[in-house]
Amino acid sequence: MKYLPLNPELFIQNRKRFTEKMDKNAIAIFNSNDELPTNADQLHRFKQNSDLIWLTGIEQEDTMLVLYPDNPDPKYREVLVLVRPNELKEKWDGHRLRVNEATAISGITTIIWLDTLDGMLQPWIHWADTIYLNSNENDRKANLVQVRDYRFAEMMRQRYPLHQYKRSARIMKDLRAIKTALEVEVMQKAIDITENTFRRLLGFIKPGVMEYEIEAEIFHSFLSQRATGPAYGSIIASGDRARTLHYVENNLECKDGELILMDFGAEYGNYCADLTRTVPVNGKFTRRQKTVYNACLHLHQYAASILKPGISIIDYTEKIGDEATVVFQKIGLLRKSDIKNEDPDNRAYRKYLYHGISHHLGIDVHDLGTRTEPVKAGMVFTIEPGIYIEEEQMGVRIENNFWITRNGNKDLMKNIPVTVEEIEALMKK
């Protein structure tokens, strides 16, 4: 790992939060992700299962976690399972964790090797009444491949058909949505790296630069600050490309007079930052660009003023839609007749703002959390309104990350330049 060691108390707290939600005399088993092939003999870069990371901090492949709080033998109430280090494999693929190293990362003292697990797991299963198995229940998942979690669940049901089975994901969705102070501390580090990178870009961007050159600067800046890399594919969209929400080609020239929308964030300690800023390629907003940008900034600030505990994302989005309707009329995008004749299921403002305003953020960029229940203290959300105008070949989006508190929220990106004046002054330097 490139990042500095995290406080293992983060993972100790997370496991405690999970086991407190388990049924009496239940066992929970978590698996690492598969190593996935690309072509020939190549593999994709390994990415650990997010729930296993949240519980242990262990990034190594072929890892398992067994939680059995009521195990008759106290030594085995939490067990980390690792692949046994192999001299030949290490010559090819590098160092594998030893017991003391894994304990330092996770705070787990009982560590066993994967090749010894079967003989130990079976009596634990026989003692337990309920088995918690894990699965990916992110509402936006698009993976049709039968990954390890599902293969493992099928195998367990065949071997132990008379046990009661429950979904760990139901617990994880609630717990991972509420960030502890230790988690936010790591997220803030990812955000600080992202801030430094954005400030660097303001001195780099100029007419004639290529979108991929900006992406390269981002990657260089991230790695030089100990980030693992980008938390997601960076969006570097100049001119009309900014209207494509997930534009990732990043292969065209940034031209004089255009705006450039940049959506990027660092990953540090497996936690994500997610920033969007829109800046003028030549360092100076035109009058119209400034008008649209300030309208978007107003929506961003309005959203921040109402994103508090108790509001639902549905009501929150509807209120921002009401405000966007007023703002878009002021800047000449909507007429009174457009609003009067709008379809309630496809409101007029949606022509210019056609995505959601906020999503959960954490170990995953689109992190676990409900979109129907009220917002709760401890959640971390993005706030990212946009204005996309096809007729003017312009797209503007502004995004910060907010930690919800009991009385409101805390802008974790408050130090990152966002106003027209701040951006122009830094680009002029």
| 146 within 8 A of 33, measured Cβ to Cβ | no
Within-domain flag for 1: no
- Mean per-residue pLDDT for 43-67? 96
pLDDT at 145: 80
Alpha carbon of residue 51 to chain centroid: 13
199 and 165 share a domain?
no
pLDDT at 139: 79
pLDDT at 20: 98
pLDDT at 137: 85
What does the H/E/C string look like for 246-260? Answer: CCCCCCCECCCCCEE
Within-domain flag for 165: yes
- Tens-digit pLDDT profile for residues 1-12: 899 999 999 999
Query: Between these two residues, 108 and 89, which has the higher pLDDT value?
Result: 108
Within-domain flag for 299: yes
H helices of 4-83, in order, are: 9-19, 50-56
20 and 147 share a domain?
yes
pLDDT at 239: 98
Number of domains in the chain: 2
Within-domain flag for 20: yes
Can you give the CATH number for the domain in which 48 is found? Answer: 3.40.350.10
Within-domain flag for 276: yes
How much is the pTM? 0.96
Q: Domain range holding 247?
A: 181-428
pLDDT at 226: 98
- Mean per-residue pLDDT for 284-309? 98
91 and 200 share a domain?
no
- Mean per-residue pLDDT for 58-62? 97
22 and 159 share a domain?
yes
- Tens-digit pLDDT profile for residues 129-159: 999 999 998 877 777 788 999 999 999 999 9
283 and 412 share a domain?
yes
Look at residues 175, 203, 235 and tell me which one is the last residue of a structural domain: 175
* pLDDT over 80 at 120, yes or no: yes
pLDDT at 144: 76
Can you give the CATH number for the domain in which 232 is found? Answer: 3.90.230.10
Between CA 25 and CA 216 the distance in angstroms is 52
217 and 126 share a domain?
no
187 and 168 share a domain?
no
- DSSP of 85-143: P-HHHHHHH-----HHHHHHHH----EEEGGGHHHHHHHHHHH-SEEEE-----TT---
